Amino acid sequence: MRKKTIERYIKIYSLYTVDSKTEQDISQELGINRRTVSTALKWVDENRINIPNEQFMRIAIDTTRQRKQKLREDMKGARQDKNWNAVVAFHREIKSNDELELKLRNLLGNAKPPPLIPIELLNTFVDTLAKVFNEINELDTAEERRKAFAERLSKLCWPETREPDRLIGR
């Protein structure tokens, strides 16, 4: 059997098992007849042991990503209709799909690492930058503002160097 056909069969199987879609839903979504869907499900079931797990995982991740995209589109419609209960439900479903995708990626070995900066630290940094911008905007000339900005940025980002001239191109 061709590799393309095998991938298509696994995709159908993934829609059936991961998305819990019926054979009729799958045939309508993919534009194929129900017999092809049932053949694919039967073939994958019988040959599952010969198919690498990595291939299953990649298709399951892809299916999850597509489901999240559809949920986001549906959530936009709910927002436009101001159906806030539906928005909350879509948000929960998207979050659970994010968790599922992360678990699948962990099993596959290519998970995205968690954020490096805690949100509290990021908020403090943004607040500090806002104060700096307010102080700088009170200065008279553009040259003074540029030099003050370079000095402050240098102290925030490179405290050991403190070289404002490097930032303003001198």
Domain boundaries, given as residue ranges, for the chain: 1-51, 52-114, 119-167
Please tell me the class of the 1-51 domain. mainly alpha
Strands of 20-145, DSSP E: none
**Could you give the CA distance from residue 61 to residue 51 in angstroms, rounded to a whole number?**
16
- State yes or no: pLDDT of 10 exceeds 70: yes
Residue 128 backbone phi and psi in degrees, to 5 = -65, -45
Tell me what the mean pLDDT of segment 140-158 comes to: 73
- State yes or no: pLDDT of 125 exceeds 70: no
Of the listed ranges 26-40, 81-95, 149-163, the least confidently predicted one is 149-163
Q: Whole-prediction pTM value?
A: 0.49
Task: Kindly report each contact of residues 16-25 with a partner whose C-beta sits within 8 Å and lies 24 or more positions away, as own/partner.
Answer: 16/41, 18/60, 18/63, 18/64, 19/63, 19/67
